[in-house]
Amino acid sequence: MKLIRFGPKEQEKPGVLLNGRRLDCSAFFNDWDRSFFSNGGLEALRQLLDREGDSLPEAPESERWGPPVARPGAILCIGLNFSDHAKESGMAIPDEPVLFMKAPNTLSGPYDPVAIPRKSTKTDWEVELALVLDRDCLYLDSPAEAASRIAGYCIMHDISEREFQLERGGQWDKGKSCPGFSPLGPYLATKDEIGDVHNLKMELSVNGRLMQQGSTQTMIFKPDYIVYYLSQFMKLEAGDIITTGTPPGVGLGMKPPLYLKAGDIVELSVQQLGQQRQEFIKSEA
């Protein structure tokens, strides 16, 4: 299944993408949120589609694509999870997953414009594979157990402001939590839709120029292990989003560094998970 949400920001309706058509599920489900995932919602949705998928109403073509899940309790991110990206960032390859968090209110749609933050000169790009949990997790016994808690996968653009992140003291969160800095989607693909999640091509271009090209095959820590590992320290909740790192090719690692400016167009994709496109605009705030 491919879960979507559509409609105006903060008024999105839940739906599915079926045979290229966006179908409206709002008559049967409130939203793709913590309550949905933690109460067996995926199985109920599967039964609905088997029963009457062809008769669900189609969403108007003009409707905006929203993030495929509702605002989560947490967006948890793993940094430096590709060895070659760690090297280009001038940082050591980690012995354990490096964790930072993004504010949940940074979540945005896959085609929404993104405002460059006020006083920003170092807004950067990062294509990432994200996963969404369908059950709470705490003190899991193994990565195999963690695998059963993953609802599916989607693309996240982990937009970052490098000065705020690295030069202003404290943790990374300041450079990761600017408004609109977490475009998600276009859809959440359940695990049965994905062949081998450890071998998906990842690409990102800026104004048509290919910047990032990699594969989930070169991750240091795999998704199942990441969920298992994080559960040893905190309670993860159904509907939470976890991103798994980016391949090399970010602006920070270029010589000289290159950053985004108003008018730039960023396009990104992960194999089997679709693509995103954002125009970066000047902040009006």
User: Residue 227 half-sphere exposure, CB side, CA atoms within 13 Å?
Assistant: 29
> Rounded to an integer, what distance in angstroms lies between the CA atom of residue 103 and that of residue 43?
29
Task: Decide if pLDDT at 91 tops 80.
Answer: no
pLDDT digits (tens, 9 = 90+) for 170-204: 778 999 999 999 999 999 999 999 989 999 999 99
Whole-number Å distance between alpha carbons of 157 and 212 = 12
**Whole-number Å distance between alpha carbons of 14 and 25:** 6
Same domain, yes or no: 188 and 267 = yes
**Distances, alpha carbon 96 to alpha carbons 92, 93, 101, 129, 169, in Å:** 11, 9, 16, 19, 22
DSSP lists the bridge partners of residue 268 as 204, 276
In this model, does residue 217 exceed pLDDT 80?
A: yes
Residues 36 and 76 in one domain: no
Q: What is the CATH number of the domain that holds 114?
A: 3.90.850.10
Q: Based on the domain organization, do 23 and 106 belong to the same domain?
A: no
Taking all residues of the chain, what is their mean pLDDT, rounded to a whole number?
95
Same domain, 219 and 199: yes
Same domain, 123 and 236: yes
Position 285 scores a pLDDT of 63
Q: Give the contacts of 160 (CB within 8 A, at least 6 positions apart).
A: 123, 124, 125, 126, 175, 176, 181, 250
For 10-21, the pLDDT digits (tens) are: 999 999 999 999
Domain count within the chain: 2
Domain that holds residue 13: 2-65
| 263 and 153 inside one domain | yes
The DSSP annotation for 126-180 comes to -EEEEEEESS-BSS-S-HHHHHTTEEEEEEEE--EEHHHHHTSSS-GGGGT-STT
| 10 lies in the same domain as 78 | no
Dihedral sign for Cα atoms in the order 252, 107, 263, 248:
positive
Same domain, 206 and 147: yes
**With the C-alpha atoms ordered 224, 193, 218, 155, is the resulting torsion angle positive or negative?**
negative
pTM over 0.85: yes
Query: Which of 49, 65, 81 is a domain's end point?
Result: 65
Q: Are residues 56 and 89 in the same domain?
A: no
CB 247 within 8 A of CB 215: yes
Q: Kindly write down the DSSP assignment for every residue of 62-98, as one continuous string.
A: TSPEE-SSPPPS-EEEEES-BHHHHHHTT-PPPSS-E
174 and 259 in a single domain? The answer is yes
Phi/psi for 121 (5° steps) reads -125, 0
Cα separation, 135 vs 146, in Å, equals 10
Average pLDDT over residues 64-88: 90
Q: Does residue 203 sit in the same domain as residue 159? A: yes
**Strand, coil or helix: 215:** strand
Domain boundary (15, 50, 65) is at 65
